[in-house]
Amino acid sequence: MSDDTSDSRVPVTVLTGFLGSGKTTLLNRILTEQHGMRIAVIENEFGEVGIDDGLVLDAEEEVFEMNNGCICCTVRGDLIRILGALLKRKDSFDAILIETTGLADPAPVAQTFFVDDTLRTQLRLDAIVTVVDAKHIVQHLDDHKPEGTENEAVEQIAFADRVVLNKTDLVDATEIEAVQRRIHGINSGVRILPAQHANVDLGDVLGVRAFDLDKILADEPEFLDDTEHQHDLTVTSVGIDIDGVVDVEKLNEWLGVLLGERGTDLFRSKGILNLAGTDQRYVFQGVHMLHDGELGAPWREGESRRNRMVFIGRNLDREQLEREFRACLEPATEGAPA
Ligand SMILES: Nc1nc2c(ncn2[C@@H]2O[C@H](COP(=O)(O)OP(=O)(O)OP(=O)(O)O)[C@@H](O)[C@H]2O)c(=O)[nH]1
């Protein structure tokens, strides 16, 4: 994590990777391990109900949430404003980390650091770090996208300076090799760091001076042009945010069936829930069919114990998901203030 002291620009790491690949897991490592750097974090989440604020571990670092749109398109202006505000007090941190949504194209985010004069002179894009889910990435790379839309999983690997090949515990050695070949087929020179629960050496991802604009321009001469890109609009999110007390048995039964039947199209599900009989939050995590839940941090004093749940995927039926979730609440608790 050594940095060239002759360059006083603040290093910026863009952390990207498809939905559920392990970005927040890596972010939590970065926020909790001793590395001597003070890092300001900007986090962008897909979907109308934010969950990640409850999943990022309490740390001394400041975390700025951007939940009202996608960082690579609609809220790029907000990103520039947040970065500008941060630069006014740049003595209070050593580096900036931006966690994108799982559906972001990292290219427009990277462009931000070259097209805006103030940012260009004060910030230095250190690396685009892409987290890859070794078990699920191939199906997303192979996904047939509607005409004119881009495959975000491919873009995220194409622009990566480092790939954290995460979740190697879920695949065997042959599959790992096949995924590595696939990654190198998209981005031949990229360094791949195999990992479980994103346990990479942080020195391999922070302060690495790996982003090389000249190399990108050689491959993509239009990189700095503000080209329009189109997301696959068939992938949407459904957010649920309601009071009530969850019956965990009903919840598990419902989610088991739902993810078992719809897990191909349901890319990501996550929630922070108010369970009966405990003062701890219940954290639910699902990536396709794999899911688990565990008790997390206690509810804060005076905090409203809302249930927040997000589903992201294709062909989601909001009305059905809401109705089935409500059926997991203990009778007469729905809508009751906690
Ligand atoms: N088995 C296994 N699970 C992992 C590993 N890394 C992360 N997970 C789990 O995968 C799920 C998603 O991890 P996150 O870190 O939230 O992924 P993310 O990329 O931030 O997800 P989004 O922000 O929703 O796109 C969580 O349940 C993690 O505990 C790993 O190496 N192996």
Each residue's pLDDT tens digit, 11-54:
999 999 999 999 999 999 998 988 888 999 998 877 666 667 77
Closest CA to 235 of 318, 312, 311: 312
Can you tell me the distance from the alpha carbon of 114 to that of 112, in angstroms, rounded to the nearest whole number?
A: 6
105, 180: one domain: yes
DSSP 8-state assignment for residue 246:
B
User: Is residue 337 in some structural domain?
Assistant: no
Q: Residue 304 Cα, ligand 1 centroid: separation in angstroms?
A: 26
272, 207: one domain: no
Alpha-carbon distances of 249 from 244, 266, 290, rounded to whole Å:
15, 21, 17
Q: Determine whether the shortest distance from the Cβ of 285 to ligand 1 is under 6 A.
A: yes
Q: Residue 101 Cα, ligand 1 centroid: separation in angstroms?
A: 13
pLDDT of residue 131: 98
136, 269: one domain: no
Per-residue pLDDT tens over the stretch 310-327: 999 999 999 999 999 999
Atom of ligand 1 nearest to the CA of 52: 23
User: Is residue 227 in some structural domain?
Assistant: no
SS3 89: coil
* Cβ neighbours around 5 below 10 Å, total: 6
Can you tell me the distance from the alpha carbon of 299 to that of 306, in angstroms, rounded to the nearest whole number?
A: 10
Per-residue pLDDT tens over the stretch 237-254: 999 999 999 999 999 999
22, 118: one domain: yes
79, 48: one domain: yes
| Ligand 1 pocket, mutate which of 15, 16, 21 (most atoms under 8 A from CB) | 21
User: Is residue 230 in some structural domain?
Assistant: no
249, 211: one domain: no
User: Is residue 170 in some structural domain?
Assistant: yes
Domain count, the chain: 2
104, 239: one domain: no
Name the residue at shortest CA distance from atom 14 of ligand 1: 22
Q: Determine whether the shortest distance from the Cβ of 17 to ligand 1 is under 6 A.
A: yes
Q: What is the mean pLDDT of residues 95-115?
A: 91
Place of tokens 């863009």: 14
Length of the chain in residues, anyone?
338
Q: Where a domain ends, among 219, 247, 275? A: 219
150, 253: one domain: no
Name the residue at shortest CA distance from atom 21 of ligand 1: 20
Q: Which domain holds residue 177?
A: 10-219
User: Is residue 4 in some structural domain?
Assistant: no
Atom of ligand 1 nearest to the CA of 17: 19
pLDDT of residue 335: 56
Q: Determine whether the shortest distance from the Cβ of 167 to ligand 1 is under 6 A.
A: yes
User: Is residue 273 in some structural domain?
Assistant: yes
Q: Residue 17 Cα, ligand 1 centroid: separation in angstroms?
A: 11
Q: Which element (helix H / strand E) includes 63?
A: strand 63-66
210, 252: one domain: no
Atom of ligand 1 nearest to the CA of 25: 15
Alpha-carbon distances of 220 from 82, 167, 223, 294, rounded to whole Å:
28, 31, 5, 44
User: Is residue 181 in some structural domain?
Assistant: yes
Q: Where a domain ends, among 167, 186, 219? A: 219
Can you tell me the distance from the alpha carbon of 121 to that of 127, in angstroms, rounded to the nearest whole number?
A: 17
Question: Which residues does 88 contact at the CB level (< 8 Å), separation at least 6?
Answer: none
Q: Where a domain ends, among 195, 219, 243? A: 219
User: Is residue 23 in some structural domain?
Assistant: yes
Name the residue at shortest CA distance from atom 26 of ligand 1: 285
| Ligand 1 pocket, mutate which of 14, 21, 25 (most atoms under 8 A from CB) | 25
Most confident of 60-74, 106-120, 200-214: 200-214
199, 64: one domain: yes
23, 136: one domain: yes
Q: Which element (helix H / strand E) includes 311?
A: strand 307-314
Q: Determine whether the shortest distance from the Cβ of 22 to ligand 1 is under 6 A.
A: yes
Q: Residue 24 Cα, ligand 1 centroid: separation in angstroms?
A: 7
The answer, yes or no, to whether residue 187 has pLDDT greater than 50, is yes
Can you tell me the distance from the alpha carbon of 146 to that of 90, in angstroms, rounded to the nearest whole number?
A: 43
Q: What is the mean pLDDT of residues 93-117?
A: 91
Q: For this complex, say whether ipTM is above 0.95.
A: yes
Domain of residue 303, CATH code? 3.30.1220.10
186, 305: one domain: no
Name the residue at shortest CA distance from atom 13 of ligand 1: 22
Q: Where are the alpha helices (DSSP H) in 39-136?
A: 76-87, 106-115, 117-122
Domain of residue 94, CATH code? 3.40.50.300
pLDDT of residue 2: 47
Can you tell me the distance from the alpha carbon of 210 to that of 217, in angstroms, rounded to the nearest whole number?
A: 15
- Computed over every residue of the chain, the mean pLDDT equals 89
Q: Which element (helix H / strand E) includes 214?
A: helix 213-219
Can you tell me the distance from the alpha carbon of 42 to that of 57, in angstroms, rounded to the nearest whole number?
A: 14
Q: Point out the least confidently predicted range of 107-111, 134-138, 151-155, 239-243.
A: 107-111
Q: Residue 21 Cα, ligand 1 centroid: separation in angstroms?
A: 5
Closest CA to 291 of 260, 265, 313: 260
Q: Are 243 and 304 in contact (CB under 8 A)?
A: yes
Q: What is the mean pLDDT of residues 265-283?
A: 94
